[in-house]
Structure 1
């Protein structure tokens, strides 16, 4: 195979890798933005969780069968809040972080490949 042809193939591969790196950087930036927004909304949701208990129900304000049912609904809602805040959102944030790390690792591999291909080009040019 001709050296100039090999050099062109390597340059095209470097160009492709740079394109993939740029796409991954865009995805990483978007994921980081989403991550920050989710954390902000998680904090807001946690601060609003107390509203489930308002107004407080006492024997003076409301009692009986329907008060008991309503209190049970409140407990269920509070439990669901906890599940969303502590489990579902945390799992989502972990998945986003995993994807960010994965894309960053791919970029590092691409950078290494680019360095390797540039060295090959240099060797081909001088042989």
Structure 2
């Protein structure tokens, strides 16, 4: 697919040479298809992240097991272990909440951006189809006048 800045150039070049082409329209439709596929992939990813986040939240209590008491374990090693476990619990919460929320939000934003691009592409495709129809009608009218 041609970069956007070159599409109009090639479209007008073909038009001026009198060649019948739908390359610009084809490019727009290909881009539309690609954007829709990207949206579907992102929606799948978001759904998977939502599921993973649910699993993380359900298993959060596992980080603090087994429960330690002064009767099961005590002393310097127990204190050190408890501090490590608390750090692990904070890291677990950060991952399961903050980081996953940020990833999900980024995906949602990208989906909205792509949907906006899709709407724009659909508008451009409609305009191009209408323009081609007008040109065809103009050619048909000119041909009728000549005959």
1:54-65 residue pairs with structure 2 within 5 A? 54-65=65-76
Task: Give the structure 2 partner of residue 110 of structure 1.
Answer: 121
Gapped regions of structure 2 (runs ≥ 5): 1-14, 139-147
TM-score by length of 1: 0.90
Give how far 1:120 is off: 1.2
Q: Does 1:41 align with 2:21?
A: no
Of 89, 102, 108 in structure 2, the residue corresponding to residue 91 of structure 1 is 102
Give how far 1:52 is off: 1.1
Contact 2:53/2:97 (<8 A) preserved: no
1:15 is paired with a residue whose SS is: helix
Partner Cα distance (1:29, 1:121) in 2: 31
Give how far 1:122 is off: 2.0
Give how far 1:2 is off: 5.1
Q: What is the aligned residue count?
A: 124
TM-score by length of 2: 0.78
Contact 1:3/1:124 (<8 A) preserved: no
Gapped regions of structure 1 (runs ≥ 5): none
Q: Which has the higher contact order (CA 8 A, sep 6+)?
A: 1
Instruction: Encode CA deviations 1:59-118: one digit per residue, 9 max, x unaligned.
Output: 111111111111101110110011111111000001111111111111110100011111
Give how far 1:126 is off: 2.4
Aligned CA RMSD, in angstroms, stands at 1.6
Task: Give the structure 2 partner of residue 52 of structure 1.
Answer: 63
Task: Give the structure 2 partner of residue 66 of structure 1.
Answer: 77
Task: Give the structure 2 partner of residue 126 of structure 1.
Answer: 137
